[in-house]
Structure 1
Amino acid sequence: MKKIVPFFVALLVISCGSDDSSTTTTPEEQMYFPPIGSTTWETKTVQSLGWNQSQVQPLLDYLELKHTKSFIVLHNGKIVLENYFNGHSANEPWYWASAGKTLTTAVTGIAEEEGYLNINNKVSDYLGTGWTSIPLAKENLITNKHLLTMTSGLNDALGDDVTPANLQYVADAGTRWAYHNVYVKLQDVVAASTGQSWSNYFNTKLRDRIGMTGGSWIQNGGLSVYWSTPRNMARFGLLALNNGKWENNQIVPQNYFQNATTTSQNLNLAYGYMWWLNGKTSFRLPQSQLQFNGTLIPSAPSDMYCALGKNDQKIYVVPSRKLVIIRMGDVADGVNFALSDFDETLWEKISAVIN
């Protein structure tokens, strides 16, 4: 039978405090970071978190059915679930597709912190004029921030080619949101401003500092696409959960990262600096100028932000639950550029486990 503490006694304890630490709640678990240069990664169990073990297998069955290759769930940095399907293995790299846009976001922030660039400056300050085929006055409207927020005003219907001839005018920068691979020009901005190759600066300033060993940028149709093991993707997700901080080292500036994971413009409320944002009142999707009312993934926590890549490459980050969730694999259903119906159903099944 539970004892009921009278209100005035409880109030007295709260107001006066207590020297007896045994009366306080259990200290909050410290965030865990896997060691750099080691394959060691601490784990915890579904049962220890009070999650629903009976719903784990239905989740895994669904993932396998939907052509998943790898699935990882971190809680407070420790691995709770790590599963591989359809012939994939832990040491086998896979492509991030547009989930890797957030890597470019992070490195741009690092370069700005180091004084090499300013995201509010125009792109032509770094690449020179003529990096598009649009009139110079219009080209000079496009800033680095417009590339980060998908508001360059360039034509998004011309494919992945980002050579000048294929970068054509549709609207003034800042007046139109459109998902466009012109963001990759930020990699050129970083290279030009730092005097280093993109991959070298990325490796030394981000990859190596959080232990994302072995990953690499591979050219694909004029774009540089990142490939890595699932655990390396999980490391980046853990960095994101901690607002750009790895243990005691602030890798990506905290204020910049917080700006990157909040609404960055008023055209697509569910978009930051190449991070997708849940819990907003409306959103837009790639290859469309339609605005949809409601939240991006209704079955997911409202504070979630995510990196979404073609054919269902996913990094979900949920600060309120201290979760990072990774999904790599082939497309679940039909070909998509970022979000798909798969996200909603997947989150229904994840929620059945964690709630």
Structure 2
Amino acid sequence: MKYAINFFILFIFISCSSSDDTNSDTTTSEEIMYFPPNAGMSWETKSLSSLNWNENNVQALLNYLELKNTKGFIILYNGKIVLENYFNGHTSTSPWYWASAGKTLTATIVGIAEQENYINSNNKVSDYIGTGWTSTSITKENLITCKHLLTMTSGLDDGLGDNVSPSNLQYKADAGTRWAYHNVYVKLQDVVSEATGETWNNYFTTKLKTPIGMTGYWAQSNDFSVYWSNTRSMARFGLLALNKGNWNGTQVLNTSYFNNATTTSQNINIAYGYLWWLNGKTSYHLPQTQFEFQGKLIPNAPNDMYCALGKDDQKIYVVPSRKLVIIRMGNAADGSNFALSGFDNELWEKINAVIN
């Protein structure tokens, strides 16, 4: 009888322990972060009902996205796809440009090169690419460090267009004293290439693109490269960011650098890190203006959100408190813009109606 009772207890224990924890619709507070395989199209999904999200408001969100010229839209929860939709002739394999959302790719690669001891972001840019990369005096040029390029505080004139040839990189203020959105950040790609002895594309592919299973390519636009990929590849990068540089147990980018990249990097525009935008701050600056706006960057979005914002509403929203990554690719929702637009706040109103 004693053995029968023990067997019964063991049976109950095994039965309870073998519950279906691989079911993608099972949500627990201890759920392990999911990472899609690096090869193929396999990617686990999560139902809205399992998250207790409001399914009745999904169609209004999708209608809004289509109306606002969206091409690709993805919501990940804990790494799994909850919504994935394509509009206006776009498909899951169609490439689209990241625009300035791709600045965060550059910031990430700089961090990787730094952790491999190729560069020190506190060093001046001319240590790596030589002097004469601007048309300022050597004294003023040598004030500009790699970190100034990461934080948009080079002091170079942002009113002269996208061209980053030396003649177009002119002095406006001492480095570190003025925040201005400027394409001069692409000089960091030259810094990485010179320091590592590899082409930018090769180093990017080896250290970031391949390790997290991204597809895509750099295409030349004016004097700099813009990244193109499908929407899922943008989501993969967002998932890496959600996990502070870790991809399925491999620390692609060290956590310390990533934390610095996604917190206030200087005291002029407190809503800006290392080429990442930061929500939840008390003020922010926008491209092409020196005006300080009061309040949060995107009032309807969670305070802890950090995001990559690209021209004409390319978006990577990362929300650690909600385990969310949200991707939007497409043409400008309304008028053309450089980063933030009224669309961000309107979109978050529609998203909140679904996830809250």
Question: Which bracket does the TM-score occupy, shorter chain normalised?
Answer: over 0.9
The DSSP-based 3-state class of the residue aligned with 1:82 is strand
Match status 1:277 vs 2:278: yes
Tell me the residue number matched to 1:12. none
Aligned residues: 332
CA-to-aligned-CA distance 1:239-276 (integer Å, 9 cap, x gap): 00000000110001110000000000000000000000
SS of residue paired to 2:205: helix
Is 1:108 the counterpart of 2:105 in the alignment? Answer: no
Give secondary structure in 1 for the equivalent of 2:340. coil
Which of 134, 138, 154 is the aligned partner of 2:156? 154
Structure 2 residue 246 is matched with structure 1 residue 234: no
The answer to whether residue 352 in structure 2 is matched with residue 348 in structure 1 is no
Partners of 1:85 and 1:79 lie apart in 2 by 17
> How much has 1:173 moved relative to structure 2?
0.1
CA deviation profile, 1:110-137 (whole Å, cap 9, x unmatched): 0000010000000000010100000110
Alignment of 1:284-303 (within 5 A): 284-303=285-304
1:259 maps to a residue whose letter is N
Report the equivalent of 2:85: 83
Task: Return the alpha-carbon distance in structure 1 between the equivalents of residues 62 and 94 of structure 2.
Answer: 19
CA distance in 1, matches of 2:208, 2:64: 34
Partner of 1:252: 253
| Matched residue SS, 1:196 | coil
Quick check: 1:313 aligned with 2:353? Answer: no
- Aligned residue in 1 for 2:175: 173
| Residue in structure 2 matched with residue 14 of structure 1 by the alignment | none
Q: Distance in 1 between matches of 2:223 and 2:312?
A: 19
**Partner of 2:354: helix, strand, or coil?**
helix
Aligned counterpart, 2:5: none
Matching residue's letter, 1:131: W
Aligned position for 1:10: none
Partners in 2 of 1:94 and 1:110 — Cα distance?
Answer: 25
Amino acid at match of 1:224: S
Structure 2 residue identity aligned to 1:140: N
Paired letter, 1:253: N
The equivalent of 2:209 in structure 1 is 207
State the TM-score, normalizing by the size of structure 2. Answer: 0.92
Unaligned runs of 5+ in 2: 1-15, 18-26
**What is the TM-score normalised by the length of structure 1?**
0.92
Q: Distance in 1 between matches of 2:212 and 2:103?
A: 18
Cα displacement (A) at 1:38: 2.0
CA deviations on 1:292-339 (whole Å, 9 max, x unpaired) are: 010000000000000000000000000000000000000000110000
Letter in 2 for 1:244: G
TM-superposed deviation, 1:26: 4.9
How much has 1:27 moved relative to structure 2? 5.3
Q: What is the aligned counterpart of 1:97 among 72, 96, 99?
A: 99
Which amino acid counterpart does residue 49 of structure 1 have in structure 2? L
Per-residue deviation at 1:223? 1.4
| Counterpart-to-counterpart distance in 2, 1:26 and 1:67 | 36
Q: Which amino acid letter does the alignment assign opposite residue 208 of structure 2?
A: L
1:35 maps to 37
1:47 equivalent to 2:49? Answer: yes
Q: Deviations over 1:149-206 (max 9, x none)?
A: 0000000001110000000000000000000000000000000000000000000000
CA distance in 1, matches of 2:34, 2:28: 17
- Between the aligned partners of 1:265 and 1:38, the Cα distance in structure 2 is 41
Cα pair distance change 1:74/1:26, threshold 3 Å: closer
* Secondary structure class of the residue paired with 1:240: helix
Q: 2:70 is matched with which residue: 63, 68, 71?
A: 68
Instruction: Report deviation, 1:28.
Output: 1.1
Give distance in 2, aligned partners of 1:26 and 1:136.
58
Q: Distance in 1 between matches of 2:312 and 2:258?
A: 26
2:133 to 123, 131, 136: 131
* Aligned partner of residue 193 in structure 1, secondary structure: helix
The 2-side partners of 1:26 and 1:165 are apart by 57
AA paired with 1:228? S
Residue deviations 1:36-92 (CA, integer Å, cap 9, x gap): 112100001111100000110000000000000000000000000000000000000
Question: Are 1:182 and 2:184 counterparts?
Answer: yes
Q: Percent identity?
A: 71
Q: 1: distance between equivalents of 2:57 and 2:276?
A: 29
**Corresponding residue SS for 1:236:** helix
2:312 counterpart SS class: coil
Cα distance in 1 between the residues matched to 2:51 and 2:254: 31
Mapped partners of 2:248, 2:118: distance in 1: 25
Secondary structure of the corresponding residue to residue 227 of structure 2: strand
User: Could you say what secondary structure the match of 1:227 adopts?
Assistant: strand
RMSD (Å) for aligned C-alpha atoms: 1.1
Over 3 Å counting, the alpha-carbon distance change for 1:135 and 1:246 in structure 2 is same
